[in-house]
Amino acid sequence: MNQYSQRLTRLRQAMTAAGCHAMLISEPTNIRYLSGFGGSSAYLLVTASEQFLITDYRYVQRAGEDCPDYQTYCRDRVSESLGQAVGRLLSHTPNASLYLDYRHLSVELYLTLQSDLPMMELKPAPLLVEDLRAIKEPAERACIERCILIAEQSLDWLLGRIEVGMTEARAAELLNNKMMELGAQGQAFPTILLSGPRSALPHGQPGDRKLCRGDWLLIDFGAQLKGLRCDITRTFVLGKASDEQRRFYQTVARAQQAAIDMVRAGVSGHQINRTASDILAASPYAAYAGEGIGHSFGLSLHEPPLLRRSCETLLQSGMILTIEPGLYRPGFGGVRIEDDILVQDQGSLSLTRFNKDLMEI
């Protein structure tokens, strides 16, 4: 049984437990996870005994090659709507409930389905596929660890070549090129490399600012391989760090380590958030604390659980999360420290190993 057959089996078990009779999956990453299909036009329709990949003539051959476990249904996008196709495929159960991954469904498509399937009750599906994706399989973990190795080796290489006067954009370009040279298939996301006061932009993009002595240098980046990725942040000082920079950095470091120490199966996301947030809130820098503490990742950069104050999700063994508290002080700069953490039954394992001490480069 291949990985897609195994995932389909687990999805059906989750559907049965949730009372889902039939599920229409429209989110491309969920489609790829369940079937391996990488085209741009497809839907999955899964019932207790059948599974269909609905596409058009452009992808029929590819669907047959990529998704042997699925029956391919080719619809004419001009003469047959998605709802009509679903109705034909479910004609033997016309009064069944159809569950939709509504978080990824446009209002227009929902209204079309509602019009074309008047006898079916359309219901919002729970996050069944996302819950499956949250627990990383051994092969997924191995791929993520390979991404981390590529990223960390690339960062180590870059630090030996950073120079005062180099632009942020040039430094980011060097880092990205090195990751590709070491085997990455792409960036996990557009690399964030910010210096000086610009490091206070949580998700800023590298620009033409030249690196100066005494600057913060914040680098948030990752490698991508086989659709999976890593997500790492380190913050450095160019030259000698001031006492204020050291205090600022150590506040974030304490918050991050306390949150990591809390990670284990059975702990809720909001407990992790509160642990880090309380340390930042009690510091002289409380006004500069970022809200986000971390998230899961994999085929997408941000996947549930998102470690927010409102996150009631209980961590499970096999999840891989970022832990990334930060302080962002306008005019002074920002510090974020981010590691990729594997949740275990009795604790956690940091998959990132790059030095987290305040490095003066």
Half-sphere exposure at residue 177, Cβ-oriented, CA atoms within 13 angstroms: 7
**pLDDT confidence of residue 103:** 86
Domain ranges of the chain: 3-132, 135-350
Q: List pLDDT tens digits, range 247-272.
A: 999 999 999 999 999 999 999 999 99
Task: Kindly provide the b/e burial profile for residues 222-236, where b requires at least 16 CB atoms within 10 angstroms of the residue's own CB.
Answer: bbbbebbbbbbbbbb
**pLDDT confidence of residue 344:** 99
Residue 133, sorted as left (phi over 0), alpha (psi -120 to 50) or beta, turns out to be alpha
**pLDDT confidence of residue 174:** 99
**pLDDT confidence of residue 93:** 80
Tell which residue, 90, 74, 12, has the closest CA to residue 41: 74
**CATH class entry, domain 135-350:** alpha beta
End-to-end CA distance of the chain: 50
* Torsion sign, CA atoms 264, 267, 269, 272: negative
Helix (H) or strand (E) holding 5: helix 3-18
Alpha-carbon radius of gyration of the chain = 23
Q: Which residues of the chain have pLDDT under 70?
A: 94
**pLDDT confidence of residue 94:** 67
The burial class, CB within 10 Å (0-12 / 13-18 / 19+), for 166 is: middle
Backbone phi, psi, residue 213, to 5°? -65, 135
Task: Provide the whole-model pTM.
Answer: 0.95
CATH number for region 3-132: 3.40.350.10
Q: List pLDDT tens digits, range 90-141.
A: 998 867 899 999 888 899 999 999 999 998 999 999 999 999 999 999 999 9
